[in-house]
Amino acid sequence: MEAIRNQQIDEALRTFRDLNRELADLRSIASTLNWDQETTMPPAGTPFRANQDATLATLYHQKLTSPQYGAILEQLEEEELDEWNRVSLREARRAYDKATRVPEALVGELAETCSMAYEAWVEARQKSDLAHFSPWLEKIIHLKRQQAHCLVEGDVPYDAMLDEYEPKMTVARLDPLLDTLRPLLTELVERIRLSPHQPDKGLLRGRFTQERQLELGTTVITAMGFDWKAGRLDVSPHPFCCGLNPGDVRITTRYSEEDFSVGFFGIVHEAGHALYEQGLQAERFGEPACETISLGVHESQSRLWEIFVGRSRPFWEYWFPRLIDAFPESFASVALEDFLHAVNQVEPSLIRVDADEVTYGLHVILRYEIEKALFEDSLEIRDVEGVWNQKMEEYLGLTPPDAARGVLQDVHWSHGLFGYFPTYLLGTLYASQLFQQAREDIPDLETQIARGEMLQLLEWLRQKVHRHGKRYSADELLRQVTGRAPDAACFLEYLNRKYSELYRLE
Ligand code: ZN
């Protein structure tokens, strides 16, 4: 009897694995198409590609919500499984429930609305007129709230939005974090603004050929441990990282020939994402347990390399002479101190994607507060622009001169991506805690980085974060690795220490 039963479980697990593998293959194919579209596809291919995407999405949805998949989940949930399979089962159940709880008609209406809303947003931004986009925004929020009601366990619809990108994150957990950060960030920005010790802002400007930028970027991410047999680097208008599978992780950047920092930190940032994808367990590809945890944790990997390593003094002690070799005409007569201050300059700005690490969080908090109010129904669409401008003034001391540089600057809402922005900031908070722990675990870490050696740090991340896949939630991972839940204290301490020195704050 026992033998027959074991055989049945093995068979169910095999079917479960095969179905998961097919789902992962479809996701991977969709990502390949997406990479192709962003990097090489000619523009006239767009409508055809949209059809291909829709066909694939339908296939995927059918497979994920098939009675066979549902039955396998139910069957395995009765069994005692090992940890990896338990995690896979939990994650598969989560995906299955999300896909089956929302009526197909609503999914279709959302997809259709968002594709038209995107066009409207492009036009609205061109004309800098929110009125072109408002009716779409209103409709998307209406539909997203319906979606939230199908998904949410408690009584806060916005929690369903957060959970989509940062599983288990809720308004109740996020509010205290951001309420702590906001006044302290605003205060730090103000102290920095008043400091007489300001960097030379023109110092990073010059003539930087794309070829040399690529050469330097390539050398740096090779030293970080980027695996070129399992990855590539291309150019695209919007930098991104596309993990097709652990053996094929593609990153892109865009170069500015006037400012080397755009391309350079873009490459380091995306390479941080890529190292996470390359560090997943290749032999388990397709198992739901062997994927990245969340957008927040993903962003923690990119921010850790970009900011905590890439904008640090030890890093540039090694790399600044190499930067001078690449661009002697721009940097040969620049002192390391001045360069460090320039790559860490803080200045309130209107555009989120251009923001420095101190002001960035305030851009995110502003969007979060507005989204939350829209979902709570305490903010009307017609008041969004006014509230946006008023918060910009309050948090950053700036008033957007027009909607294009204010409320219309980000594409996210037109795609229905609500609850997404907080992951950018959470990533930085997680990164500060992880990097602090890495410094404790590897006592000579900064000396290593100052010698251009970064592989022990990568190995630490592999062991502590990458190889666990989805075993832990973000919160559990942070507790496991650092002994503390995610909080704002570590990041604030880091900022105060670093910027007090750079700006000689009292
Ligand atoms: Zn990123």
- For residue 3, how far is its CA from the centre of ligand 1 (angstroms)? 49
Q: Give buried/exposed letters for 76-114 (b at 16+ CB in 10 A, else e).
A: beeeebeebbbbbbebbbebbebbeebeeeeeeebeebb
- For residue 428, how far is its CA from the centre of ligand 1 (angstroms)? 10
- For residue 352, how far is its CA from the centre of ligand 1 (angstroms)? 13
What backbone phi and psi angles, to 5 degrees, belong to 23?
A: -60, -45
- Indicate if the pLDDT at residue 54 is higher than 90: no
- For residue 108, how far is its CA from the centre of ligand 1 (angstroms)? 29
Mean pLDDT of the chain: 95
Report helix, strand or coil for 235: strand
- State the Cα–Cα distance between residues 344 and 497, nearest whole angstrom: 13
Dump pLDDT digits (tens) for 112-157.
Answer: 898 889 889 999 999 999 999 999 999 999 999 999 999 987 889 9
- For residue 301, how far is its CA from the centre of ligand 1 (angstroms)? 8
DSSP string, 446-491: HHHHHTT--HHHHHHHHHHTGGGTTSS-HHHHHHHHHSS-S-SHHH
What is the distance between the terminal CA atoms of the chain, rounded to a whole angstrom?
76
Catalytic residue among 91, 164, 166, 270: 270
User: Is 271 within 8 Å of 401 (Cβ atoms)?
Assistant: no
Dump pLDDT digits (tens) for 207-233.
Answer: 999 999 999 999 999 999 999 999 999
User: Mean pLDDT over residues 177-186, rounded?
Assistant: 96
- For residue 328, how far is its CA from the centre of ligand 1 (angstroms)? 30
The DSSP symbol for 259 reads: B
Q: Which of 310, 287, 295, 420 is nearest to 357 (CA)?
A: 310
- Indicate if the pLDDT at residue 496 is higher than 90: yes
In this prediction, residue 2 carries a pLDDT of 80
- For residue 270, how far is its CA from the centre of ligand 1 (angstroms)? 6
Active site residue 270: yes
- For residue 306, how far is its CA from the centre of ligand 1 (angstroms)? 10
Dump pLDDT digits (tens) for 58-70.
Answer: 899 999 999 999 9
- State the Cα–Cα distance between residues 459 and 442, nearest whole angstrom: 11
Dump pLDDT digits (tens) for 311-370.
Answer: 999 999 999 999 999 999 999 999 999 999 999 999 999 999 989 999 999 999 999 999
Tell me the Cα Rg of the chain: 23
Dump pLDDT digits (tens) for 224-276.
Answer: 999 999 999 999 888 999 999 999 999 999 999 999 999 999 999 999 999 99
- For residue 9, how far is its CA from the centre of ligand 1 (angstroms)? 40
Strands 248-253 and 231-235: parallel
H helix intervals, 304-359? 313-326, 328-331, 336-343
